[in-house]
Amino acid sequence: MVYPLDTAPRPIIITAIKSGLGNQLFQYATARRLAVASGGHLVLLLLRDYLTEPHSRRFGLQNFNVAGHTVLQSRAAATIGKLFPNHPMPTHESREKPIFEGVGQNMNDPFFIRDVLTWREGLELDGYWQDERYFADIRPRIIRDFTLKEPLDSRSRDCLARIRAAPSAFFHIRRGDYLSAEFCNLFGVCTADYYGRALEILRARVPRVRVFVFSDDPGWVRENAIGGEGAEIVDWNAAAPAHDLALMRACSHAVIANSSFGWWGAWLGELPGGIIIAPRLWYKAVPEYRDIVPDRWMRI
């Protein structure tokens, strides 16, 4: 592969890309903000070979109009050297403290690393960075970066038209791996009662709201009538989560699970007057943790 040469001596901002699409968006957004602030180059470092190996968690940023260069970890040194000749590799690493190291501790905002915001040299990030404070000051740029490269298919385009035709809200239900013994104890799972209470609040404020439901467990959604009568279950984009995200962000209001994917649907589509409802408990094992949900959103 031939890389375009860039000889301008600018910082290199590297971010580890891992886990599902919602986490990848957080990792990108934080690094993107640092690259913008420093005038530096942005490198997305794939910790696993997402491009060739079968993984349940796929690299998804390529579906959006993101900036930067995507580099496999196994080829990072050689590839970055070709991309940016005569540029020093970052010598400083900011490694985020894992949330669950705080289990049982009395915490007072220990996870937000404020120093990251003022860093202007080369830097390598490793973490999840689930806090809008890392990138809120470049919100318009992040919103543009996370638009789709390719158009929606016909079924999703029709759904988008229905979303835009009336006051709309999306409900995001995350079950799947959260039901495993390990994850259930760590994360917890939002119940049907939670979604029922959220629907009551939403309909009291927006009586004619139309609900669109997104879930990795549509059978459970149907069994529990999540979203109420008339709710539409969007269940055809399992292999295209970026398309689900595009539909979610088009909704005026949102009810989300304790999941980064739903968080992004709400944040990207947030408008003045919009109602966003999130669970009061984001991590079951760390009930004190509140950083991820902005104070302006409603917790129940």
- At 37 the pLDDT is 97
The token pair that represents 63 in the structure block: 């579906």
Residues 11 and 40: their CA atoms lie apart, in Å, by 4
Predicted model pTM: 0.93
Q: Six-digit token pair at 58?
A: 């796929």
Residue 110 has a pLDDT of 59
pLDDT digits (tens, 9 = 90+) for 27-48: 999 999 999 999 999 999 998 6
CATH of 12-145, one of 1.20.1420, 3.40.50, 3.30.70, 1.20.1070: 3.40.50
Could you tell me the strand order of the sheet in which 168-173 lies? Answer: 232-234, 210-215, 168-173, 253-255, 276-278, 298-299
Query: Where does residue 235 rank: exposed (0-12), middle (13-18), buried (19+ CB within 10 A)?
Result: middle
CATH 3.40.50 positions along the chain are: 12-145, 154-299
Residue 47 confidence (pLDDT): 83
Architecture (CATH level 2) of domain 154-299 = 3-Layer(aba) Sandwich (3.40)
The answer to whether the beta carbons of residues 119 and 38 sit under 8 Å apart is yes
Among 166, 138, 164, residue whose Cα is nearest residue 152: 164
Summarize pLDDT for 38-94 with one digit per residue, the tens.
Answer: 999 999 999 865 555 554 578 999 999 999 999 999 899 899 999 999 888 998 999
